[in-house]
A = this chain, B = another copy of it.
Amino acid sequence: MEQEPSGSGADGHGAPPRRTAGRPRSESARRSVLGAAYAILEEGGIEDFSIDRVARLSGVARTTIYRWWPSKAVLAIESFLEQFGPQLAVPRGEAPDQDFRALVRALAAALAGPAGRVAASVVAHAQSDEETQRLFRENFSDPLRTQAAELLERGITHGVFRSDLDIPRVIDAFVGAVYFRLIIGSSLGPDWADALSETILNGCR
Q: A91-129: which have CB < 8 Å to B?
A: 120-121, 123-128
Interface of A: prevailing SS: helix
Chain A positions within 8 Å of B, measured between CB atoms, are 45-47, 120-121, 123-128, 133, 136-137, 141, 162, 165-166, 169-170, 172-181, 183-185, 195-196, 198-204
Please give me the residue from chain B that is nearest to A169 by CB atom: B199
> For residue A162, which residues in chain B have a CB less than 8 angstroms away from its CB?
202
Whether the Cβ atoms of B180 and A172 lie closer than 8 Å is yes
How many copies altogether? 4
From A120, A170, A183, A198, residue with most partner B Cβ within 10 Å: A183
> For residue A120, which residues in chain B have a CB less than 8 angstroms away from its CB?
127
Please give me the residue from chain B that is nearest to A167 by CB atom: B199
User: Min CB distance, A116 to chain B, in Å?
Assistant: 10
User: Min CB distance, A191 to chain B, in Å?
Assistant: 11
Please give me the residue from chain B that is nearest to A180 by CB atom: B176
> For residue A175, which residues in chain B have a CB less than 8 angstroms away from its CB?
176-177, 180
Known: A46-B128, A124-B124, A179-B179. A170 touches B199 (CB 8 A): yes
Whether the Cβ atoms of A184 and B133 lie closer than 8 Å is yes
Q: Which of B123, B124, B141, B195 contacts A166 (CB 8 A)?
A: B195
> For residue A121, which residues in chain B have a CB less than 8 angstroms away from its CB?
127-128
Report the separation of the CA atoms of residues A195 and B125 in the bound assembly, to the nearest whole angstrom: 28
10 A-B residue pairs with Cβ-Cβ distance under 8 Å, sorted by A, are: A120-B127, A123-B124, A137-B184, A169-B198, A172-B196, A173-B174, A176-B178, A176-B180, A199-B203, A203-B203
